Amino acid sequence: MSASDVKRRIDELTEELTRAEHAYYVLDAPIMSDAQYDVLMRELQALEEAHPELRSPSSPTQRVGGAPAEKFEKVVRKLPMLSLANVFSDEEFRDFDERVRKQLGVDEVTWVCEHKFDGLAVELIYESGRFVRGATRGDGTVGEDVTANLRTVRNIPLQLAAPEGGEVPRYLEVRGEVFIQKSDFAKLNQQREEAGEPPFVNPRNSAAGSLRQLDPRLTAARPLSFFAYEIGQQEGLTFETHSQKLELLEQLRLPVNPDHVVARGFDQVKAVYVDFLARRHELPYEVDGMVVKVDSEDFRRRLGQVSKTPRWAVAWKFPPVEEETRVENIEVQVGRTGALTPVAHLAPVKVGGVTVTRATLHNEDELRRKDVRIGDWVFVRRAGDVIPEIVKVIETRRTGQERVFEFPTTCPVCNAPVARGEGEVVLRCTGKSCPAKGQANLRHFASRPAMDIDGMGEKLAAQLVSMGLVKTYADIYRLTLDQLLTVERLGEKSAQNLLEAIERSKHTTLRRFLYALGIRHVGEATAKALAEHFRDVRRLFTATVDELTRVKDVGPEMAQEIHDWFHNEANQRLVEDLLALGVDPKPPEEVQGGVFTGKTVVLTGTLSQMTREAAKEEIERRGGKVSGSVSRKTDLVVAGEDAGSKLKKAQELGVKVVDEPAFLAMLQQG
């Protein structure tokens, strides 16, 4: 390859990788798979190593990650967050181990092996044990200030605990990963699809997008988790090993993944890698490799770093879980909200140890974007190691015999017209009595978070609907033993157990009941808020949109949806039928009188002893109401550290202000 050809290829790779990084880190919209990115990056690294005179300071190989977005304040670090070099085979890690031993002049190195999480790297800064700032890694030196969003991650402590026999550090930088559990990711995508929103591509993409929301309330609604795995700058601490750091982080009550292993030499590290890889799909979170770090802090200092990567650590990547297979057919499934979801039926293929025969295509727009056709050969992966999805079509294997799938204009189950709501990406069946919606709704109604009818599974729900035994939720409570005995493969004992479960379900809470009704956009949290606000389901029959928007976390669109559902005569008859049949949804327990009874309280600043949400719950338990703004009607302002404009306004209006110790003392009064 001539010098001009090398230069041209380097420019092409630089442009392609730069676009991919921008799409992933800035736009939160990946345009290539991780495996494809790794291949291109390794090619660019090889070319630059062979031709260092052609390496540009702006090359993707010379920076840790994507540039920070402009919508957040920038955070400049004194101690950069380094990226890791990758190895992909036994030979490559053996070479790395040999280089480390040679530079140190030792025969064997002790390593710490940790899971390589597939999330978003962040840094938390604690001063005297208090969380004061959080930032994304960004390009390693400059990140994005996402402090308000990180405060919403439940397992990140706002106040550190004192370690055994010591005090909290005066200053501590904690590095770690924000991620989403596999089960939470699957549930999140299901909710997005039912709401007509595009699904997230993978857990890492959804974690990154969630953490970089301008409105922290949106971040709080996402199921984010955090693991700490490194310490940056700090004051007053000394460590001999990395293992000691992890022990201290745990003592400080920071979440540390317990699944890390100390290994001596290549053979033990290889054994850990084999074990991690074998258990990859059993883990509750997504990983794409194993991080191997030198344990000795003295060895780390002696080894140093090269540019943006340390010489004392490496990421041993797992092989990509993507396989080739053929699309045998495409059909549309109808969900409980009427959403039409295209599903590809595949020639059976093992992906990550699981046989895959179907893969979701999410919606019509996604189907067209990927241009998946019946008969295509495709790459399939398990998104988040859970949900099978088609990564891309292998266009070079097309023969011309492939058939474009025509999306139906009528429901494939009930033949009712389908329609797409304004601003939605999902087509929905408009049929009022669609059996497919009936089956899905029945399963939802009977599910554990809803009415919790044990024994009402998917197959039984389908049979009850198809036989005409259950047309509305109320029909569940009219079922008799004789009727159930006509259901295929349902014995007398099982039928009797089901009737007993149905009877038990009558004694429920208003929160469960509202969630069970299957109102679009109303999840468990919204159902709880509605129950607390209205306390009687019949009050919702006359609730206005304005009144509904005053309920916590209910916006105008959701309020309109709830309003329309409860103002529908058929739905009102359904609720009345359920109540007449003995369903008794109890309202939340009445708040007992307490120190805050009848008072409106505003919380401002940072509390060290509890989260803002916990403080709010404690106030409400004692009869108070928490408001987000200070006015002349405010009875009390609780001012934590760094209280701002709300404190100033309270002082101007003469509203009573108490600090955190005084607030805690009030809680003790009951």
Inform me whether the pLDDT recorded for 69 exceeds 60.
no
Give the Cβ contact number of residue 169 at 10 Å: 22
Indicate the residue type of 612.
R
Claim to verify: residue 221 and residue 370 sit in the same structural domain: no
pLDDT (0 to 100) of residue 343: 93
Question: pLDDT tens-digit profile of 451-462?
Answer: 999 898 888 988
Question: pLDDT tens-digit profile of 339-366?
Answer: 898 999 999 988 766 788 999 888 888 8
**Catalytic-labelled residue, pool 71, 116, 270, 616:** 116
**How does strand 130-136 pair with strand 287-294?**
unpaired
Claim to verify: residue 278 and residue 389 sit in the same structural domain: no
Strands (E), 352-457: 354-360, 373-374, 377-383, 387-393, 403-404, 418-420, 427-429
Of 518, 526, 514, nearest to 559 (Cα)? 526
Q: Is residue 521 part of a domain?
A: yes
**Is the distance from CB of 583 to CB of 512 less than 8 angstroms?**
no
Claim to verify: residue 329 and residue 267 sit in the same structural domain: no
Tokens 């003995």: give the residue: 582
pLDDT (0 to 100) of residue 63: 43
Of 460, 420, 438, nearest to 518 (Cα)? 438
- The domain boundary residue, chosen from 392, 421, 450: 421
Give Dmax (Cα) for the chain: 85
Inform me whether the pLDDT recorded for 28 exceeds 50.
no
Inform me whether the pLDDT recorded for 68 exceeds 50.
no
**How does strand 309-310 pair with strand 110-117?**
unpaired
Inform me whether the pLDDT recorded for 231 exceeds 90.
yes
Q: Is residue 593 part of a domain?
A: no
CA angle 272, 276, 278 (to 5 degrees): 115
Q: What is the mean pLDDT of residues 67-92?
A: 81
What is the SS3 assignment for 87?
A: strand
Inform me whether the pLDDT recorded for 421 exceeds 60.
yes
pLDDT (0 to 100) of residue 384: 47
pLDDT band at 592 (very low <50, low <70, confident <90, very high): low
pLDDT band at 495 (very low <50, low <70, confident <90, very high): very high
- Phi/psi for 274 (5° steps) reads -60, -40
- The pTM of this model reads 0.52
- Phi/psi for 371 (5° steps) reads 55, 50
Strands (E), 215-368: 224-234, 261-264, 287-294, 305-306, 309-310, 313-317, 322-334, 340-351, 354-360
Cα–Cα distance, 64 to 41 (Å, whole number): 12
pLDDT (0 to 100) of residue 462: 86
Cα 404 to Cα 347, 373, 562, 664: the distances in Å are 18, 5, 38, 65
Inform me whether the pLDDT recorded for 14 exceeds 80.
yes
Cα–Cα distance, 495 to 476 (Å, whole number): 13
Inform me whether the pLDDT recorded for 206 exceeds 90.
no
What is the SS3 assignment for 147?
A: helix
Of 437, 425, 417, 429, nearest to 335 (Cα)? 437
Q: What is the mean pLDDT of residues 539-555?
A: 88
- Phi/psi for 366 (5° steps) reads -65, -40
Tell me the pLDDT of the chain averaged across its residues: 86
- Phi/psi for 602 (5° steps) reads -120, 130
CB-facing half-sphere around the CA of 655: CA atoms within 13 A: 24
pLDDT (0 to 100) of residue 453: 93
pLDDT (0 to 100) of residue 541: 95
Claim to verify: residue 240 and residue 331 sit in the same structural domain: no
Inform me whether the pLDDT recorded for 93 exceeds 70.
yes
Q: How many residues does the chain have?
A: 670
CATH of the domain at 354: 2.40.50.140
**Is the distance from CB of 70 to CB of 138 less than 8 angstroms?**
no
- The domain boundary residue, chosen from 526, 554, 586: 586
- Residue ranges in 113-241 assigned as alpha helix (H): 147-150, 182-194, 203-211, 216-220
**Is the distance from CB of 411 to CB of 396 less than 8 angstroms?**
no
Claim to verify: residue 124 and residue 231 sit in the same structural domain: yes
Lowest-confidence pick of 110-119, 239-248, 450-459, 494-503? 450-459
Element (H, E) at 660: helix 660-668
Cα–Cα distance, 231 to 228 (Å, whole number): 8
pLDDT (0 to 100) of residue 66: 42
Inform me whether the pLDDT recorded for 27 exceeds 60.
no
Give 558-602 as a DSSP string: HHHHHHHHHT-HHHHHHHHHHHHTT-EEEPPPPPPP-TTTT-EEE
Tokens 């890390």: give the residue: 260
Q: What is the mean pLDDT of residues 153-179?
A: 89
Percent of the chain with pLDDT over 70: 92
Tokens standing for residue 458: 């998917």
Claim to verify: residue 452 and residue 409 sit in the same structural domain: no
pLDDT (0 to 100) of residue 542: 93
Inform me whether the pLDDT recorded for 217 exceeds 90.
no
Of 216, 225, 141, 131, nearest to 177 (Cα)? 225
CATH of the domain at 37: 1.10.287.610
Claim to verify: residue 543 and residue 613 sit in the same structural domain: no
CATH of the domain at 246: 3.30.470.30
Claim to verify: residue 612 and residue 505 sit in the same structural domain: no
pLDDT band at 1 (very low <50, low <70, confident <90, very high): confident
116 in catalytic set = yes
Q: Is residue 630 part of a domain?
A: yes
Of 205, 183, 206, nearest to 386 (Cα)? 183
Claim to verify: residue 189 and residue 244 sit in the same structural domain: yes
Lowest-confidence pick of 1-5, 58-62, 383-387, 418-422? 383-387
Give 11-46 as a DSSP string: HHHHHHHHHHHIIIIISS---S-HHHHHHHHHHHHH
Cα–Cα distance, 285 to 182 (Å, whole number): 5
Lowest-confidence pick of 196-205, 257-266, 521-530? 196-205
Work out how many domains the chain is built from and give that number: 5
Residues sharing a CB contact under 8 Å with residue 500, sequence separation 6 or more, in sequence order:
none
pLDDT (0 to 100) of residue 383: 54
Question: pLDDT tens-digit profile of 95-144?
Answer: 999 999 999 999 999 999 999 998 899 999 999 988 999 999 988 888 88
Beta bridge partners of 313: 293
CA 45 to chain centre: 33
Q: Is residue 595 part of a domain?
A: no
- The domain boundary residue, chosen from 586, 621, 649: 586
pLDDT (0 to 100) of residue 22: 53
DSSP state of 83: -
Q: Is residue 20 part of a domain?
A: yes
pLDDT band at 595 (very low <50, low <70, confident <90, very high): confident
**How does strand 309-310 pair with strand 305-306?**
antiparallel
DSSP state of 76: E
Inform me whether the pLDDT recorded for 386 exceeds 70.
no
Question: pLDDT tens-digit profile of 270-294?
Answer: 999 999 998 887 888 889 899 999 9
CA 303 to chain centre: 37
Tokens 């070099």: give the residue: 85
Cα–Cα distance, 586 to 292 (Å, whole number): 54
Q: How far apart are the first and last CA of the chain?
A: 80
Residue 305 zone, left/alpha/beta (φ > 0; ψ -120 to 50; rest): beta
Residues sharing a CB contact under 8 Å with residue 393, sequence separation 6 or more, in sequence order:
370, 371, 372, 373, 376, 377, 378
Claim to verify: residue 313 and residue 452 sit in the same structural domain: no
Q: Is residue 69 part of a domain?
A: no
213/266: higher pLDDT: 266
pLDDT (0 to 100) of residue 16: 86
pLDDT (0 to 100) of residue 493: 92
- Phi/psi for 224 (5° steps) reads -85, 150
Question: pLDDT tens-digit profile of 284-337?
Answer: 888 989 999 999 999 999 999 886 789 999 999 988 777 899 999 999 988 877
> Can you give the residue range of the structural domain that contains 55?
3-62
Q: Is residue 591 part of a domain?
A: no
Claim to verify: residue 263 and residue 356 sit in the same structural domain: no
pLDDT band at 499 (very low <50, low <70, confident <90, very high): very high
Cα–Cα distance, 245 to 175 (Å, whole number): 11
Claim to verify: residue 277 and residue 163 sit in the same structural domain: yes
Cα 215 to Cα 152, 266, 362: the distances in Å are 11, 47, 27
Percent of the chain with pLDDT over 90: 40
